């Protein structure tokens, strides 16, 4: 079966985008997605994103398979790429603002005049039962709680942006052995659905540096939901402002946790790389 695709990246977090509007289920299996994402034997990507018909009053639905075939609830960099892709598909009918159904709920991205995309990521979920994690009672927050990983005790703050995140603040993000620590955090027994892990170095009250190990994708150049979760964690622990720039290996994201409505807004780039056909 020949599959047409377009590849996009959001700060180096790259995705294969597939027009799946003709049916309500992805045209690929998780195993197909894993093969497509392979950087030696496939197209190469951190995940495959499908544009499906909308549900209810939404314009479209978004589904994503990670490079290991698992399916996350949502992806912040991915939805910015999704937005630019559907605008490309819509052509003259393209909207400035879309309502997108995801497994994490309805997300509302808006295309900006400077080419970036601003996304209303909704309100963060902070209770242990919402993450989920066993580090606290289900109705309690997990803020600066101890977590033993390897031979070290880490102080972690957990946030769900529709998908689970474990944020730990460090003196030097570049010094973290991500390939060794990332899998241990991801599959720690305290996180029954596995976890995305962010290591955050605070450079100033409104600038942080982030390295990330993504659940199902490993080390990536950027993670939009992780950047949002990290700023939320920084505010909860009084380490950063509600408007903070997050420096990722792939570039910058502007994050705001609004004090008025409690919603998190993410603004960043999403760029087309190339299109092709496989199979």
The active-site residue out of 37, 75, 166, 240 is: 75
> How many residues are listed for the chain in this entry?
279
Residue 169: CA atoms inside 13 Å, Cβ hemisphere, count?
20
> Is 75 noted as a catalytic residue in this protein?
yes
Residue 41 CB contacts under 8 Å (≥ 6 apart), including other chains: 35
Active site residue 228: no
Could you give the 3-state DSSP secondary structure of residue 171? Answer: coil
Calculate Rg over the CA atoms of the chain: 18
CA distance 146 to 120: 31
Q: Where do the H-state alpha helices sit in the chain?
A: 30-37, 76-90, 178-186, 224-236
Q: Annotated catalytic residue: which of 81, 158, 166, 223?
A: 223
Please identify every residue annotated as catalytic.
75, 223
């Amino acid at each position: 079966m020949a599959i047409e695709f377009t590849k996009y990246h959001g700060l180096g977090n790259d995705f294969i985008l597939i027009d799946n509007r003709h049916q309500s289920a992805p045209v690929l299996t998780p195993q197909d997605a894993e093969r497509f994402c392979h950087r030696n034997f496939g197209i190469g990507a951190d995940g495959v994103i499908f544009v499906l018909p909308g549900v209810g009053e939404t314009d479209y639905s978004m589904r994503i398979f990670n490079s290991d075939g698992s399916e996350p609830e949502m992806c912040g960099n991915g939805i910015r790429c999704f937005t630019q892709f559907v605008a490309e598909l819509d052509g003259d009918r393209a909207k400035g603002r879309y309502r997108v159904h995801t497994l994490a709920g309805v997300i509302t991205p808006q295309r900006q005049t400077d080419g970036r995309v601003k996304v209303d990521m909704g309100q963060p979920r902070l209770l242990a039962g919402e993450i989920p994690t066993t580090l606290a009672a289900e109705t309690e927050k997990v803020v600066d709680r101890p977590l033993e990983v390897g031979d070290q005790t880490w102080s972690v703050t957990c946030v769900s942006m529709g998908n689970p995140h474990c944020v730990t603040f460090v003196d030097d993000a570049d010094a973290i052995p991500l390939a060794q620590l990332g899998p241990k955090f991801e599959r720690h027994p305290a996180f029954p659905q596995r976890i995305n892990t962010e290591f955050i170095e605070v450079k100033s009250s409104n600038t942080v540096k982030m390295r990330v190990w993504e659940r199902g994708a490993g080390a990536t150049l950027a993670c939009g939901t992780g950047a949002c979760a990290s700023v939320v964690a920084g505010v909860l622990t009084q380490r950063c402002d509600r408007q903070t720039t997050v420096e990722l290996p792939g570039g910058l994201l502007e994050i705001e946790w609004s004090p008025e409505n409690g919603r998190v807004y993410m603004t960043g780039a999403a760029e087309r790389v190339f299109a092709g056909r496989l199979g």
